[in-house]
Chains A and B, each alone.
Chain A
Amino acid sequence: MAKTLFEWDYSEYPGAKSYPHLFTPIEVGNLFVPNRIKYAATEENLNGLDGFITDSGVEYMRQRARGVVGGLCFMQGVYMDEAGKGQGYVGQAAAWDDKFIPGLARIADAIHGEKAIAGFQLMDCGRVGAVEVESGHGPSTVPQRLRIFKPMYEMTPAEVKEMIQQHVDAARRGVEAGFDVMEISGIVGYLISNFISSYTNRRTDEYGGDIRGRMQAVVEIIQGVKEVCGPDIPVGIRLCSEELLDDVRGNTPEESMETYKMAEEAGADYISCTLGWQESIYPVISRDIPMGNWVHLAKRAKEHVKIPIQMAYRMFKPGLPNEKIGANELDFWEICRSMIADPLMPKKVAEGREDEIRHCVACNLCLARLFRDAPMTCYINPVCAHEANPEFADPPAAEEEKEIIIAGAGPAGLECAYTAARRGHEVHVYDKRDVIGGTLNEAKNAPYGDDELWTCIEYQQTMCKKAGVTFHLGTEVTADLIEEEMPDSVVLATGPAYSKIESAAGDSAKLVNLLDVMNGQAAVGEKVVVWGNRKPGIGCALHLAQQGKKVTLVGKDKTAGFDVNPSFKWRYVLYMRQNGIVTYNDVDIEEVNDEGIVVKSYDGYRWPVKCDTIVAAQREPNESLKKVVQSEGIELFVIGDALIPRNLSSAIHDGYRIGMRI
């Protein structure tokens, strides 16, 4: 008889009818799990630099526990060695001593407080560890491919034994802290995966050699952890189903499936199916990868083992995992970034409130921040990592109700609108367009998954509706309108102005606006210069290149994509190369003539670029109404690209912060 921790009845939940397989119980080891939802362990750099749990970390987890509606909720992986060689993140939680148990127990209690199952993860970061020390440890001394990571040194056989024992000891601390499920992390280049891979394990002793030898340390860890966990606490492991390291002679997919079988034989109660390393040259989870691209790997895993298979990786909506679970090709829907973007995402699915979900846009900013020693943040969720601050996470009602005019129904204006309206203000959103969404109406037409950005507007539209925001579409905010309405506050969220280019050649060189190009209203020739090398310009250049145009991207920034986070920027650089886009950075347009343009570099070199069309994508602040509002003595806020042209994230965060302050 499997152990039941909390009773859940989903019969009254609409989502359980729409997605019945997600809300079907399952036994994992000897534990009864009421649904198929799991928040996967995710670092957030919110803990103390000494590895102790903080209030921020506890509240972050409490929200995610609420979100899984009785499912599995895993805290971030803990490092287990006092020397810190296994520590991969400055704010990673530690479990190398009993002194950490009370803090860890706070997390378990917070998860239990939401009637969810608390998961504990053991994670020695191995090759991507040693964040605070000079060198890391691994099975062999293989140089780092990426300079950002520390040099690695081969562990002696005694050190391998010690590392195995550290896993066992940390597992015991997790049990004492009150966790219900134990998980070993063997993914993306962490220590366990280092031992398994032929790329990083060159040992000739009992912990190296063929795939069985390379799995030996893992087998001993599973067996040791099982022993301290006892029969009632399931032990799972996250393992690569494909390393995507063919270029450096990593494991074959067949070898990876062997590791699944060996993990099951060693006693693992479930496997979380993962793929790719941080050193892989292939993208795995960015927006350019189609939804559901990897789910076939879960099916293959299930063909090799009998224990439950869990998987995340580009499954942001409930339909696909529900279908795959129903077809017995998957057992658990793992969720990571989608619950960073919206911690209550699966709960909203259960409650039939899918339109209220703020969907992840797979930008990877969250992960980019972690590797740069910064606390977790989310591109589109301004509250992420502020859960412990109630005034920020749930802004209180305004002391004085105001009438607010917001000029612009783009992401900044909409975010501000519903945030302010929920606090009791009367909010009117104006836009000269007939539709909401601002420049995202055009941005979503860029290739490589940018259509997903529109989910942000769909969410904001729902929230505005629920908050009682009034829309005045097709109405431009003018000085007369402001004088007539005389609101208490005005928020300028009009989007950017586009830089003008003076043409010495009259009409011979065709100047068109970025937005007109992206919505198909401008005629574009065959040789195009896109002026502006930030994200809007890049999206436009790719859009045109895919139509077969010869595109040159020209811009003032030192590198193209200055406003794109590093974890995604490399994708654009690659796509621009693949699409034959020539890029001139750190340059200005000196002249427009009959032939095209003359480009001038920062240090004075000049050269001609032939083109028949120039797309203006270089943006400037847009404060056209600022003086009018100020002259009336009305409280004024300028947000989003109207303030400083940046990116979607800045627009949303600006909108939220002003919405909670008015």
Chain B
Amino acid sequence: MPVDAEKEITKLYRALHSAQDEIGKTFYRWRQVAVEFAGADTNPQDVALRAAEVFGKDIGKSILPRMNWLKGEEGFMMILGKALAGLWNTDGGQATAEKGENPGEVFIKCSRDPWPSWAKQFGVSMEEVALCRERMYQAVLEDVSVFMNIPLKIELQKAISRGQGETVMRLYKAE
């Protein structure tokens, strides 16, 4: 039976996006559980930020084997920036890493992000989505900084709600 390329690609495309959709929703389902267990006195955003931190810490351990100084500081920062952009893409976003004007500066730009839409379905604020992404990346960089003995920072510079426009994060070496 000949392969119907359109049919096969459509099947794969749907499966991929269904999986991404479930990953996003699962995060918010677990957020609900954690908020319930944390009790009424806890700010739900603190719970979500803590989760982002745990995620980031674990992801940081996964990327350590790929850290490589052989291309020097500029090369290293770009590899790291691409790893962070790639992580966003795996989560369903459309992100790229671009070299900044200052030495060792990399901008991670996301032009399309499904997470705000998922958050809205669970009544979660857009602000929390942006802060969670920032916190997760900060946690990723904690181990990387110690491992490479370089103080690395990342900060959210521009956050557009509902996945429209462009979210920008700046990765740089702290003085």
- Interface positions of A (Cβ within 8 A of B): 141-147, 202, 246-249, 281, 591, 593, 598, 605-608
Contact = CB atoms under 8 A, between A and B. Distances in A.
26 contacts: A141-B146, A142-B146, A142-B147, A143-B146, A143-B147, A144-B61, A145-B64, A145-B65, A145-B67, A147-B61, A202-B149, A246-B70, A247-B68, A247-B70, A248-B68, A248-B69, A248-B147, A248-B148, A249-B149, A281-B68, A593-B2, A598-B1, A605-B8, A605-B11, A607-B5, A608-B3
Nearest to A606: B3
A281 B146 CA distance: 19
A221 B148 CA distance: 28
Contacts of B1: 591, 598
Nearest to B11: A605
A144 to B, nearest CB: 7
A605 B9 CA distance: 9
A607 B70 contact: no
Contacts of A606: 3, 8
- 7 A-B pairs with least C-beta separation: A143-B143, A247-B68, A143-B147, A145-B64, A608-B3, A247-B70, A606-B3
For chain B, the bracket of interface size reads 20 to 34
A608 B5 CA distance: 9
B145 to A, nearest CB: 10
A247 B69 contact: yes
A213 to B, nearest CB: 16
Interface in B8-44: 8, 11-12
B22 to A, nearest CB: 16
A569 to B, nearest CB: 15
B83 to A, nearest CB: 15
Interface of B: 1-3, 5, 8, 11-12, 60-62, 64-65, 67-70, 143, 146-149
B11 A144 contact: no
Contacts of B64: 143-145
Contacts of B61: 143-144, 147
A143 B59 CA distance: 13
A17 B164 CA distance: 82
Nearest to B144: A143
Given A142-B147, A247-B67, 10 more contacts: A143-B64, A145-B65, A145-B147, A202-B149, A248-B69, A248-B147, A281-B68, A605-B8, A606-B8, A607-B5
A142 B62 CA distance: 15
A249 B146 contact: no
Nearest to A202: B149
Nearest to A593: B2
A79 B171 CA distance: 43
Contacts of A246: 69-70
Nearest to B62: A147
Contact of B65 (A141, A146, A598, A607): A146
Contacts of A247: 67-70
Contacts of A143: 60-61, 64, 143, 146-147
A593 B1 CA distance: 10
A168 B107 CA distance: 53
A258 B58 CA distance: 38
Of B3, B67, B70, B146, which is in contact with the most chain A CB atoms at under 10 Å from its CB? B3
Contacts of A202: 149
B55 to A, nearest CB: 16
